[in-house]
Amino acid sequence: MGPSAMRVAGLGARLEGLGYKVEDLGNLPVAQAESHPSGPPRMRYLPQIAEACRRLARAVYSAASGGMSLVVLGGDHSVAIGTVSGMSRWLRTQRRSLGLLWIDAHADMNTPRTTPSGNIHGMPLACLIGQGPRQLTHIFGYAPKVRPEQVALIGVREVDQLERPHIKRSGVRAFTMRDIDERGLRAIMEEALKIVTNGTAGFHVSLDMDSVDPGEAPGVGTPVRGGITYREAHLLMEMICDSDRMLSMEIVEVNPVIDVANRTAVLAVELLSSAMGKRIL
């Protein structure tokens, strides 16, 4: 229901108001959890999620090959496996690589060996750097989809115990909320943008709405207090736009069932608008 909530919040009209020609390709079919067995406790719903990600990867590759600027709406963060796989393959055909800017309260770098929950939405970044179930890491037959040294993770404030050493060894540059508190978001973003553009054709933005403080974005599945503020979130998106290197973007974790008056979806649309060129003056 998250994509529908963002459509209701005026996503298409906002982008058209910025001068874009918008084509809504609709929703991709996804298996419903209540209709299937959950499967292995450390890789819950793996076949269903893998199929959804393969379907999304093919759709993203096709749209990118057709010259579209891509915005993907989720869903939980496991959809990023499909989005980034599709973008990575498109660039791979041109012998170029993709940078990845991951904005999230969580690192999403668990594997089946470290996960406390078995939820694959806690594993997508690990999968994209080649760590995880082969059904997810090797979409299109190769891994990794992005090189760890070309990935920046911003806004982290809740990390699982066994996940922590994996992050430190991975080569991914993680900027925690303490880093933002001490250095300021502008300095963090300047460094992060250098990471995701160094040797790449451009970068993909994966925005989990739980990166924003739940006081501003209450409609997310795993809220964590002490997140990015409203203005920090807009500054982050405006600096992404200023870089002129963003190739694609996705917004995930908008859950209208637990939202308040569609506030999280409205904010998601506002943030996307800032990333796509909306300015105060």
Question: Is 253 among the residues known to form the active site?
Answer: yes
Interatomic CA distance for residues 278 and 256, integer angstroms: 25
Q: What is the 3-state secondary structure (H, E, C) of 77-145?
A: CCHHHHHHHHHHHHHHCCCCCCEEEEECCECCCCCCCCCCCCCHHHCHHHHHCCCCCHHHHCHHHCCCC
Question: Is 234 among the residues known to form the active site?
Answer: no
Interatomic CA distance for residues 189 and 195, integer angstroms: 10
Question: Is 77 among the residues known to form the active site?
Answer: yes
Q: Which of 77, 166, 204, 234 is catalytic?
A: 77
Q: Which of 76, 108, 163, 250 is catalytic?
A: 108
Place of tokens 């915005």: 71
Interatomic CA distance for residues 161 and 117, integer angstroms: 12
| 2 touches 253 (CB < 8 A) | yes
Question: Is 108 among the residues known to form the active site?
Answer: yes
Q: Which of 163, 210, 250, 270 is catalytic?
A: 210
Question: Is 106 among the residues known to form the active site?
Answer: yes
Interatomic CA distance for residues 60 and 83, integer angstroms: 6
Question: Is 166 among the residues known to form the active site?
Answer: no
Per the rule left: phi > 0, alpha: psi between -120 and 50, beta: everything else, 51 is alpha
Q: Which of 250, 253, 259, 270 is catalytic?
A: 253
Interatomic CA distance for residues 190 and 242, integer angstroms: 11
Active site (catalytic) residues: 77, 104, 106, 108, 121, 208, 210, 253
